[in-house]
Amino acid sequence: MVIVTGRVVDEKGTQLPDGLIAEAIGEWLLTSEQLAKTETKNGRFRLEVPEILDFDELPRPFKFRITDVTKRPLTKDRELNGTDKNQELGDIVVHASKWKDCSSPRHRYYSIRE
């Protein structure tokens, strides 16, 4: 089991609301599969990813991303190795912009920026 931990923040370092999804994706030749997912709580996540071994019995790398509840990706995919059992990613920055007509910080849209 590989444990991936971190915190999801906006560009100012403020933690984002609960309910974003941290997920691990395994990719093979012509397909991909969700290996694990968890919701953020207090801006933090702890994702438990099962080990995937390749033909040589070596752990395979996997992709990591943050999505919203509609499964829209909020971060670019990050490739993580499957060999390190504990991986602390630190702060994952999601660029957030408020809607013009909404003053509540919970009503935001998020975008991926280069």
pLDDT at 25 over 90: yes
Where do the domains of the chain lie, and which CATH numbers do they carry?
A: 2-111 (2.60.40.10)
Neighbouring C-beta atoms of residue 10, cutoff 10 Å: 18
State mean pLDDT over 50-54.
Answer: 80
Q: Shortest CA distance to 10 belongs to which of 59, 87, 66, 84? A: 66
Q: How far apart are CA 61 and CA 88, in angstroms?
A: 15
- Partners of 73 in the beta sheet? 67
The pLDDT assigned to 71 comes to 87
Does residue 78 contact residue 63 with C-beta atoms inside 8 Å? yes
Q: Shortest CA distance to 21 belongs to which of 63, 66, 61? A: 66
Q: Give residue 108's pLDDT band: very low, low, confident or very high (50, 70, 90).
A: low
